[in-house]
Amino acid sequence: MSKSKLASGSRTKWVYYFGKTKAEGTREMKQLLGGKGANLAEMTSIGLPVPPGFTVTTEACDAYYKAGRKFPAGLIDEAHRNIEMLEKETGKQFGSDDDPLLVSVRSGAALSMPGMMDTVLNLGLTDRSVEGLARLSGNRRFALDAYRRLINMFGGVVMGVDHHYYEAEFDRIKKKHRAKLDTDLNEAGMTELVAAYKKVYRKHTGHAFPQDPFDQLSKSIAAVFGSWHTPRAVRYRQINEITGLLGTAVNCQVMAFGNLGEDSGTGVAFTRDPSTGRNEFYGEFLVNAQGEDVVAGIRTPQPVAEMKKWKPEIYKQLLGVKKTLERHYREMQDFEFTIENSVLFMLQTRNGERTGHAAVKIACDMVKEKLIKEKDAVTRVPPNDLNQLLLPSFDAKATRDVLTRGLPASPGAAVGKPAFTADEAADRTAAGEAVLLVRKETSPEDIDGMHAAQGILTSTGGMTSHAAVVARGWGKPCVAGAGAIQIDEKKQRITVKGRTFSTQDILSIDGATGEVIAGAVGTHQPKLSGDFGTLMKLADKYRKLNVRTNADTPADAQRARDFGAEGIGLCRTEHMFFGDERIMAMREMILAETEAARRKALRKLLPYQRKDFEGILASMKGLPVTIRLLDPPLHEFLPHDGQSQKEMAESLGVSVAKVKQRVSALHEQNPMLGHRGCRLSVTYPEILEMQVTAIVEATINCRKKRINAQPEIMIPLVGVDKELSSLRELTVATIAAVKKAKKFTGKLDIPVGTMIEIPRAALTADAVAPHADFFSFGTNDLTQMTFGYSRDDVGTFVPQYIQQEILERDPFQSLDTTGVGQLVEMGVTRGRSVRKGLKVGICGEHGGDPLSIAFCHVTGLNYVSCSPFRVPVARLAAAQAALNDGKASVNTTL
Amino acid sequence: MSKSKLASGSRTKWVYYFGKTKAEGTREMKQLLGGKGANLAEMTSIGLPVPPGFTVTTEACDAYYKAGRKFPAGLIDEAHRNIEMLEKETGKQFGSDDDPLLVSVRSGAALSMPGMMDTVLNLGLTDRSVEGLARLSGNRRFALDAYRRLINMFGGVVMGVDHHYYEAEFDRIKKKHRAKLDTDLNEAGMTELVAAYKKVYRKHTGHAFPQDPFDQLSKSIAAVFGSWHTPRAVRYRQINEITGLLGTAVNCQVMAFGNLGEDSGTGVAFTRDPSTGRNEFYGEFLVNAQGEDVVAGIRTPQPVAEMKKWKPEIYKQLLGVKKTLERHYREMQDFEFTIENSVLFMLQTRNGERTGHAAVKIACDMVKEKLIKEKDAVTRVPPNDLNQLLLPSFDAKATRDVLTRGLPASPGAAVGKPAFTADEAADRTAAGEAVLLVRKETSPEDIDGMHAAQGILTSTGGMTSHAAVVARGWGKPCVAGAGAIQIDEKKQRITVKGRTFSTQDILSIDGATGEVIAGAVGTHQPKLSGDFGTLMKLADKYRKLNVRTNADTPADAQRARDFGAEGIGLCRTEHMFFGDERIMAMREMILAETEAARRKALRKLLPYQRKDFEGILASMKGLPVTIRLLDPPLHEFLPHDGQSQKEMAESLGVSVAKVKQRVSALHEQNPMLGHRGCRLSVTYPEILEMQVTAIVEATINCRKKRINAQPEIMIPLVGVDKELSSLRELTVATIAAVKKAKKFTGKLDIPVGTMIEIPRAALTADAVAPHADFFSFGTNDLTQMTFGYSRDDVGTFVPQYIQQEILERDPFQSLDTTGVGQLVEMGVTRGRSVRKGLKVGICGEHGGDPLSIAFCHVTGLNYVSCSPFRVPVARLAAAQAALNDGKASVNTTL
């Protein structure tokens, strides 16, 4: 419950005013007023030039839905009282034909959702008041233009009239008046246009355009509330994992006109460069335009630096605003402004979306500038943003067949074939193709396809267009406003300077340079900036969790070390059986009918395994390497098609029938729940013996070369304590036997532990722990069994579960703390209850997920292990978990 | 720790004496002295004529294994002191050539394991003492016969010399002396035989037969200890689920000779008829024979009633023994005796194995006779024994082509084709064939095959032969000693009175009459005795758990009601989709591409479902019927072979490609963990709507006919609370809609509950319970997921797990209380924490398993549900759980 709610007694306060007389909100009230509303109030308080207005709360939105889409009692009264306050402050009057009060109506939730919510401008215009505006502005054409915009937006947003009915009329009238651009249409044309728009409105709604501004207002508020539950808004919240919000607030604010003529304009700016993070004033503006024109990407705006020439005093004022905002918010801000007849108005500010590179640089710079503290720098960068710094970019030395250059809207390198609609991009990606979404401009409806595509290329729109903002938020490469490209959506082709590309041609886009390139350009590993290193050092300073990596090859191991991995938490051994000669020995082993024959085949595999282990142990130079013994069912090593079976039979000198018979005998109804993991070692102990022998021999070989190899042996899929006790006994005996055979007299001290991935192992962890030197939670399988979900098969229902909010998120991406988490906690607590200080880690894919890492921190794990590229993410997430007391700081900059 | 261990201070007492001077043991000390040792001491105490002896404890056996098969310190000393006591009591001397002390050495664990342990008789005979025995008995042939038996048994049991080497010598010498039977061999032949046996012994052991009786003794004790871990002993304990024993005790007892001539004999008797339970003295004896001859089934003995003619005074004495034993033990006893020169000696007593029929009758009779109390009667009958009373027997009116009649060794009707070895019986059974194991006699090595076969038929051996005892213990039909049958194991055929039967001919055996019949005889349902009804009434009086049944058809429902089911706990609906027309409508539904097309197909299924539900609801007349909504994945309803797919395509008027494509789309890697259960209802709510509509319409139709239908709707496979809340909402809405459409104004009150079978549902039961009117634990799936075992696939390792004692028992047969049980407890506790008095049941197959039922009782469940035939078992097990404070009373009569 918000403070002000308490302050106003038992009756809920639905509306908060901001203006010269008072600003009822503060920036802390985002949950209640939305980000936009809270910051409009805040900016008002700190003296920035904000047109006055009021905010209808998110609680009102919630109450509206709870009442079955009905306004709560008192809301409309309060809104009217606030309109009266605005009239008092501005001296204007709502609906007046003398000096009419006009307002914008904008949505604004606690988290910004670019382009998701609908806006109505110029509200308050009617047949009557439009004349007042004409008089007041001395520009009748402008007044009519404002009116036709209102009819268009109100019709579209509030009444659901399709935009293209208006567009058709506009085109017809422009043609008639021989106007090329919208701005070419004269006053007479505008008069016709207003009449035509009103006709369109009446035809498609069945009613005349409302002439009561209060009627316009309440309908608009309802429409903003309604937009909270449109499929596209719901989908955006899903993609960005936004939950727990009450709804959207509604901001009504006195209009400032950027389209009053050549002394007016509108723009969007960032206090620092959101792409590079450099501390430079950055932004764009359009002269004689209304706010939405910039964001929508329909006209390509000018860089804000150009403003020095156009309005040097305003430019200076804006530099002051930049400073004020950063001093006050101690964060990079993204703000909107409008200049009405050479007067600056601030329409919005918020923490700015930025690329991963920028996030890191800004955080480090602000520490240097003493704007923020070290800990703030650590908690401020969303861990997943680091992906952008770590993923490959184009090889600078590669020859590039550059077709054209657009705006470098979101850095990164993307290669793919053009897809011309969002649906097509989504479908072809699902079918395994790499595609680039190529659009004139993108719109919120394109979200799915944008998310699916490798990268986004638009032919219009600027650095702050929908495509650019969304792509940067995701860290997806985007080149915007590449005007030289002609897109023929119908014929599914692109033409650039006479060259044509179809859906089957490969293009590359470089989001860092804006280049659009024919063909596939080779990629290379990124160079990590000094700021990245600084941030990682800070993260390491504050985190409690160790971070290891999942790696099966020396190359992966090396990369992970470079990224700061403190060991290997999961080294799978099954991939080592797939080389040409190896797989044959493996198959010989599987086909063997006696232990002796199996041992013979295993002896062939031993040298390969030993060599692999030597490589990995050596590459980790003294850091621990947790080696998991063979896990998958044996049938995964046999061929399933007739031809390969025939080849296998020939190669092994057995009958095809025998091969087929073995394949069929090993077939399982549910291989996930079958004969695999330690169950293989129980039935074929000689496999375990071979693997342990290889590990120990590799270790001894390393030690002899003075490489401090530190293997740890991990027995997978234990569900019953006696599985582990008996296999541990065999492992220990094998280690001793190898030591003896190799006459190695030094200390080896190889820990033997287990994965906790079967629910029963977690439930009985106190019985398992006495036999384990460490636990490693295999949360992939643990999730599969706790939910009863086969990861291979859930595609038929889990997406729908997320859509229907039955599941908050995909439990394979982010650990289900409610259910699976209980088993993890149990495993830790019960394991340590009998073995104090038991080392416990996690090696499922959750080990690289910030939310899951926060859980691991709280649960007292010793380490997380994740794929090499996730290691920096995990380091940062671990530090944030430590600093935030276990809460993940995901989405903080949205 | 045993009392006596404490009494003797810190040093462990390894040996307990029983004789005239003192009996150190009591019948309560079975864990320490084994059943045989404890009862020998007890019988000595109550004045029965027991030859004196002593018992080496099971703790000694345990210590022996713990020390790596070495005797614990002090054991041999104590044994020697006890031999001295025996010498004092009998006036004989160990190894003496004057009046030698001879002892038997027998194993005896806490639970009797017929035929599993090895015995050595006549121990103490040497080249020297055999002359003493000859002198003393005045029968040199007898003494030599005793000596050759010792050499044979000692060689076999202690030194591992194969029996057939001795047999070959015996045959050779019999031939030479023209002796047909063993008993025909004269003294000269016996002298030769002893020499030949000694030669065999030396040849196969490398040593002369030991001439120091103390040496014989310690070697024999070690051998008995060793027999505890022979594969056959281990296997027997597995089959009978015997765990937690320390080992076997060893009983050394002064020899009583039943083979001293025509005034001697040996026998086995029961205080009541173990087959029918009638209170009649029952048993068999052999004149001039040693004890093992009766049990081994080599000679066919005479019924004990014949003794009246042979030795009336002994017969009278035995009737007295019968009375004494029953008064003392208050249980039916199975005892062994030997008559040495017209003097009776008791060699063993124990609770007698009996058939299920006998167990019930004896329990009820003993209550009537005031020997025991009602509660004793209830706890005394092993619940699983009731199976024997409930399973079909041969139709009395069917014409029987009776080939011959053997002994009715274990009642029941079995039909199958002959298998001539245990391995063959096991293999062919595993391949799906019904076989009868046909053997001249069975031996402990045959355990597996005996267990696998439908029934057992032997041509020699009596009612107490190995085959008979073991079969009765299992409730498996057995006809023993059918002497007219000639078995040719090599040619795999049986000849009876000129007719020949091969492995492909069907035979029937009637274990209640002893008849062996050509061809398959029809079976019929058993008539349940009044005693059965009495016992069930007693059980119902004491049990707390309700017992329901799992039934999908009116016939099953009716049978279960007859067996006392108090409702249906699980009515599966998927079987109802498999009729000819139904499956086509089902397939049409699965193939449908739109909701409308699915609804159209579902409308065709509705009348079938409604009719099925009406039948089941009507047959349960007012008892609750829990109906589970569709559970299996849809692909189970589609054909998987090309021909059937073609037929399906034709029948539905679609292309084969479409059918194939759908089959392939529905294919899952791990169907157990895939798109099934409530997940189907979430994605295809119209299926749920159809099923609920059918249930409600059926209920209304029943009510209109004044049948008090009481359905309960159960939603399967819930893992996430919101699955249930949303499906419950839809269910409630559908119920209301049908009521309205049918204009039914009465009360329906249909509870909506869920199965708890996903680990996560148990872990989050407090979130699930608010939406559930009841919980039913689906412990089959819960076990699969908690262990990570697919029931279809565990055959490759679970048997080995049980053999290696990694698992105590198959978790699908008996609920794993350690792991899965935790989830059940959690589900109950957390569910009831938010919904007081929540009704909770179990409907997995564990619902019919006595051990699991005991757990359900302790955990506070309201009911168990099991297959109709298990209902009486469950009623009894539930009563035992209530009386035993949650401990199952399985194996109590072993």
Q: At a CB cut-off of 8 Å and minimum separation 6, what does A821 contact?
A: A815, A855, A859
pLDDT score recorded for residue A39:
96
pLDDT score recorded for residue A887:
62
Amino acid, res. A728: R
Structure confidence by residue, pLDDT tens digits, B425-447: 998 998 889 999 999 888 767 87
Catalytic hit among A451, A466, A635, A771? A466
CA dihedral in degrees (A860, A865, A869, A871; nearest 10)?
A: 40
Amino acid, res. B39: N
Question: Per the CB < 8 Å rule, is A763 touching B823?
Answer: yes
**Packing angle, helices A30-45 and A58-66, rounded to 10:** 150
pLDDT score recorded for residue B873:
94
Tally the residues of chain A.
894
Residue B85 has pLDDT above 90, yes or no: yes
Residues A686, A598 contacting (CB under 8 angstroms): yes
Q: How confident is the model at residue B448 (pLDDT cuts 50, 70, 90)?
A: confident
- B804: closest CA of chain A, how far (Å): 9
CA dihedral in degrees (B71, B73, B76, B82; nearest 10)?
A: -130
Distance in angstroms (rounded) separating the CA atoms of residues B637 and A200 = 54
Element (H, E) at B348: strand B343-351
Between residues B473 and A110, the one the model is more confident about: A110
Interface check for A612 against chain B (CB to CB < 8 A): the answer is no
Residue A384 has pLDDT above 90, yes or no: no
CA-wise closest residue to B463 among B327, B358, B571: B358
Residue B533 has pLDDT above 80, yes or no: yes
Structure confidence by residue, pLDDT tens digits, B386-419: 877 887 678 777 888 999 998 888 878 999 999 9
Q: SS3 for B825-858, per residue? A: HHHHHHHHHHCCCCEEEECCHHHHCHHHHHHHHH
Distance in angstroms (rounded) separating the CA atoms of residues A688 and A105 = 69
Chain B, window 657-716: residues with a beta carbon less than 8 angstroms from a chain A beta carbon: 668-675, 679, 682-683
Distance in angstroms (rounded) separating the CA atoms of residues B708 and B747 = 11
Backbone angles phi, psi at B654, to 5 degrees: -125, 170
Structure confidence by residue, pLDDT tens digits, B685-701: 999 999 999 999 999 99
**Packing angle, helices A779-787 and A820-834, rounded to 10:** 120
Q: What's the pTM?
A: 0.80
CA-wise closest residue to A181 among A285, A31, A252, A286: A286
Neighbours of B163 (CB within 10 A): 12
Residue B19 has pLDDT above 70, yes or no: yes
Task: Determine the average pLDDT of the residues in A321-349.
Answer: 95
Backbone angles phi, psi at B664, to 5 degrees: -70, -35
Q: Which string of b and e fits B552-569 if b means at least 16 CB within 10 Å? A: bebebbbbbbebbbbbbb
Distance in angstroms (rounded) separating the CA atoms of residues A840 and B52 = 61
Q: Provide the 8-state DSSP code for B156.
A: I
- Nearest chain A residue to B801 by CA distance is A682
Residue A507 has pLDDT above 60, yes or no: yes
Distance in angstroms (rounded) separating the CA atoms of residues B306 and B302 = 7
CA-wise closest residue to B822 among B756, B724, B723: B756
Residue B4 has pLDDT above 80, yes or no: no
Q: How confident is the model at residue B891 (pLDDT cuts 50, 70, 90)?
A: very low
Q: SS3 for A532-585, per residue? A: HHHHHHHHHHHCCCEEEEECCCHHHHHHHHHCCCCCEEEEECHHHHCCHHHHHH
Question: Per the CB < 8 Å rule, is B793 touching A760?
Answer: no
Mean of all residue pLDDT scores within chain A? 91
What are the strands, taking DSSP E only, across A14-164?
15-18, 53-56, 93-94, 100-101, 103-109, 119-123
B540: exposed, middle or buried (Cβ count in 10 Å: 0-12, 13-18, 19+): middle
Query: Could you give the ipTM of this predicted complex?
Result: 0.80
- Nearest chain A residue to B724 by CA distance is A806
Q: Which of A614-623, A736-745, B813-822, B885-894 has the lowest mean pLDDT?
A: B885-894
CA-wise closest residue to B295 among B325, B276, B268: B268
Backbone angles phi, psi at B486, to 5 degrees: -100, 125
**Range with the largest mean pLDDT of A448-452, A846-850, B584-588, B824-828:** B824-828
pLDDT score recorded for residue A609:
95
pLDDT score recorded for residue A892:
34
Task: Determine the average pLDDT of the residues in A655-668.
Answer: 90
Task: Determine the average pLDDT of the residues in B251-262.
Answer: 92
Alpha helices (H) along B330-444: 356-368, 374-380, 386-390, 422-430
Residue A10 has pLDDT above 80, yes or no: no
What's the token pair of residue B548?
Answer: 């329901």
Interface check for A783 against chain B (CB to CB < 8 A): the answer is no
pLDDT score recorded for residue A114:
58
Structure confidence by residue, pLDDT tens digits, B726-764: 999 999 999 999 999 999 999 999 999 999 999 999 999
**Which residues on neighbouring strands pair with residue A517, listed in sequence order?**
A402, A508
pLDDT score recorded for residue B212:
96
Mean of all residue pLDDT scores within chain B? 91
Task: Determine the average pLDDT of the residues in B249-275.
Answer: 93
Chain A interface, best mutation among B634, B684, B760, B786, by max A CB count within 10 A: B760
**Range with the largest mean pLDDT of A172-181, A764-773, B173-182:** A764-773
pLDDT score recorded for residue B3:
43
pLDDT score recorded for residue A125:
96
Q: SS3 for A177-244, per residue? A: CCCCCHHHCCHHHHHHHHHHHHHHHHHHHCCCCCCCHHHHHHHHHHHHHHHCCCHHHHHHHHHCCCCC
Residue B8 has pLDDT above 50, yes or no: no
Structure confidence by residue, pLDDT tens digits, B100-148: 999 999 999 988 775 556 789 999 999 999 999 999 888 999 999 999 9
Interface check for B789 against chain A (CB to CB < 8 A): the answer is yes
Chain B, window 723-752: residues with a beta carbon less than 8 angstroms from a chain A beta carbon: 723, 726
pLDDT score recorded for residue A166:
93
Structure confidence by residue, pLDDT tens digits, A714-737: 999 999 999 999 999 999 999 999
Question: Per the CB < 8 Å rule, is B759 touching A819?
Answer: yes
Q: Which long-range contacts (CB under 8 A, 24 or more apart) does A319-322 make?
A: A319/A281, A321/A48, A321/A346, A322/A269, A322/A271, A322/A281
Q: How confident is the model at residue A4 (pLDDT cuts 50, 70, 90)?
A: very low
Q: Which residues of B touch A719 (CB under 8 A)?
A: 787-789, 819
Element (H, E) at B556: helix B554-562
Question: Per the CB < 8 Å rule, is A806 touching B679?
Answer: no
Question: Per the CB < 8 Å rule, is A682 touching B788?
Answer: no
CA-wise closest residue to B794 among A719, A781, A676: A676
Q: How confident is the model at residue A67 (pLDDT cuts 50, 70, 90)?
A: very high
Q: Which residues of B touch A682 (CB under 8 A)?
A: 797, 800-801, 804, 806
Q: Which residues of A touch B793 (CB under 8 A)?
A: 668-671, 673-675
What's the token pair of residue B448?
Answer: 């597996």
**Range with the largest mean pLDDT of A35-49, A152-166, A397-411:** A35-49
pLDDT score recorded for residue B5:
45
Distance in angstroms (rounded) separating the CA atoms of residues A241 and A471 = 16
pLDDT score recorded for residue A893:
31
Distance in angstroms (rounded) separating the CA atoms of residues B837 and B829 = 10
pLDDT score recorded for residue A297:
56
